[in-house]
Amino acid sequence: MSKLEIYQIAVLNDNYVYLAHDAETGATAVVDPAVGGPVLDALAAKSWKLTHILNTHHHADHTGANLDLKQQTDCIIVGPKADAERIPGIDVEVSDGDTYAVGNATAQVFDVPGHTRGHNAYWFADSDALFSGDTLFSMGCGRLFEGTAAQMVNSLAKFTALPDKTQVFCAHEYTQSNGRFALSVEPKNKALVDRMAEVDQLRKVGKPTVPSTIAIEKATNPFLRPSSAELQKMVGLVGADLVDVFAETRKLKDNF
């Protein structure tokens, strides 16, 4: 199996687009291309040829460049079967349990609804890389636009089962604002306090806080920590069902 070279491109206000390149075959995927220009510029600078688009979900800031890039490169567009009709130019529909190869690098596909009704994530085990779209952020998770709290809890559980060293390549630079909320519901969490100090320093000098890791997220992300006694106390649901704790935490974040 092949290990991908991953290149991060910052676009729009706070989006991250990723190039994932397999040096053995020359195959290159772009994950969630919001806009085309920066992607084409990065490909040219790297002398890489685009062969695939991997979409996590249908929102325009993840699929906006699909058709333009396909027209210019003849790449294959891969996206969630559960939401195929909303993925521009989709060629290959994938769902939970499927695998998909970019060159010699193979991704395991997860269905992770909650943010939208059809949302995929792609885990390249040999590259220790998870492309989580808008399901899991650093110290946060996506808003529940089309799904339920129970769906999102189930989706996030698929990620916490992955190896701790897995890098989380999420689609937005939301870490600092997510962390401020996280501290409001777990102020005594030392791992969280330390992580926020690191994040504040990175942002102060304009550096990205992404990728994170599954280990960091399990220690600091309130949406992965509904069993935390401190969090349960802060949201007023001590001993409650964990889905209810998650739902209340998400509600508080929406209004933070």
Q: Which residues are catalytic?
A: 57, 59, 61-62, 115, 134, 172
- Extract long-range pairs of 193-199: CB within 8 Å, 24+ residues apart: 195/139, 195/219, 195/220, 199/138, 199/175
Beta strands (DSSP E) in the chain are 5-11, 15-21, 28-31, 52-54, 76-80, 92-94, 99-102, 105-111, 120-124, 129-133, 136-137, 140-141, 167-170, 212-213
Nearest CA among 167, 176, 179, 171 for reference residue 223: 179
SS3 65: coil
N-term to C-term CA, the chain: 44
Q: How far is CA 37 from CA 9, 18, 206, in A?
A: 11, 13, 22
Nearest CA among 56, 53, 79 for reference residue 66: 53
Q: What radius of gyration do the chain's Cα atoms show?
A: 18
Instruction: Work out whether strand 99-102 and strand 212-213 pair parallel, antiparallel, or are unpaired.
Output: unpaired
Other beta carbons within 10 angstroms of residue 99's beta carbon come to 11
**For residue 117, how far is the Cα from the chain centroid?**
16
